[in-house]
């Protein structure tokens, strides 16, 4: 006798209720669409939670940040040792000339000091190349104005002007500079000039003697071919005795050789 097989209908009737069978009955199109579309979303959500909560903290070492120290003003060799202790790296982003800063001094850093960083981070530095040095141009034989223009073009500035006297050189031209032409000095430094004032036998100029002792003032007047005139004493306890308080001619005034200069001298009596 042939065995009676269970039909499909009888099998479905004996199936136990499954996942969401109440809301999504077996065999319905709604169940198929929901499972096929929703299951991948659930899997992605689980993967996101696992990755964000467990994997990423291990990869990024979350919670190990520390504030970055300030390395500006330090020498690069000194900063390198501190970086090694902190397990940080460095890169030189650029090098710049910096007045008053020695070569190898750190001028700027990125990230800035205080930024939270992690071990292994690369810190970028802007490092000093030191002071830029330029050669002094040759200004001998030029007028003072032209010498000033040449110095400015070279990135230098005019310093003090001293006067010389010569019968063989043109009047009011630069005799030489000091430091001398060709010497390399820091950019922006002053250059002093020696300028010819004309024949030595005709005139001289008044030096500053205020603040000097009387003996020092007399020596300076003699050096400029001038003579001591009338000396007047005035009580002034703010200065040591025998200190020059006033001079009869202003500093730099053109005077005939052997002109007498009157002085006011301090006294405490």
Is the bond preceding 201 in cis, omega lying within 30 degrees of 0?
no
**Domain extents for the chain?**
66-128, 133-196, 204-267
**Span 80-100, average pLDDT:** 89
Question: What pLDDT score does 9 carry?
Answer: 46
Choosing among 3.40.50.10860, 1.10.150.120, 3.30.10.20, 3.30.70.260, the CATH entry for 204-267 is 3.30.10.20
Arithmetic mean of pLDDT over the chain: 82
Q: Tell me: the pLDDT tens digits for 225-260?
A: 899 999 999 999 889 999 999 999 998 888 888 899
What is the rounded distance in angstroms from the CA atom of residue 218 to the CA atom of residue 224? 10
Please, are residues 165 and 132 in contact by the beta-carbon 8 Å criterion?
A: no
> For the segment 169-227, what is each residue's pLDDT rounded down to a tens digit?
788 899 999 999 999 998 889 999 999 877 655 678 899 999 999 999 999 999 888 99
pLDDT band for position 43 (cuts 50, 70, 90) = confident
Q: Report whether CATH 3.10.20.600 matches the domain 133-196.
A: no
Q: Distance (Å, rounded) from C-alpha 161 to C-alpha 196?
A: 10
């Amino acid at each position: 006798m042939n065995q009676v097989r269970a039909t499909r209908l009888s099998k479905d009737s004996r199936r136990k209720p499954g996942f969401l069978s109440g809301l999504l009955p077996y065999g319905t199109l709604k169940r198929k669409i929901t499972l096929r579309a929703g299951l991948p979303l659930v899997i992605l959500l689980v993967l996101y939670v696992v990755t964000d909560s467990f994997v990423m903290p291990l990869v990024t070492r979350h919670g190990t940040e520390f504030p970055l120290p300030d390395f500006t003003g330090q020498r690069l060799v000194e900063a390198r040792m501190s970086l090694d202790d902190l397990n940080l790296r460095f890169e030189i982003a650029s090098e710049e000339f910096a007045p008053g800063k020695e070569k190898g001094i750190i001028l700027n850093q990125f990230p800035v000091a205080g930024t939270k960083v992690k071990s292994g981070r690369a810190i970028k530095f802007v490092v000093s190349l030191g002071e830029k040095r330029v050669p002094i141009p040759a200004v001998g034989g030029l007028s003072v104005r032209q010498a000033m223009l040449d110095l400015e073009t070279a990135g230098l500035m005019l310093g003090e002007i001293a006067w010389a006297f010569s019968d063989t050189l043109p009047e009011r031209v630069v005799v030489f500079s000091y430091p001398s032409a060709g010497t390399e000095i820091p950019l922006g430094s002053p250059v002093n000039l020696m300028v010819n004032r004309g024949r030595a036998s005709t005139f001289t100029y008044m030096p500053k003697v205020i603040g000097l002792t009387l003996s020092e003032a007399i020596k300076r007047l003699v050096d400029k071919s001038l003579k001591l005139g009338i000396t007047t004493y005035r009580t002034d306890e703010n200065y040591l005795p025998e200190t020059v308080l006033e001079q009869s001619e202003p500093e730099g005034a053109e005077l005939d050789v052997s002109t007498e200069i009157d002085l006011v001298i301090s006294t405490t009596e």
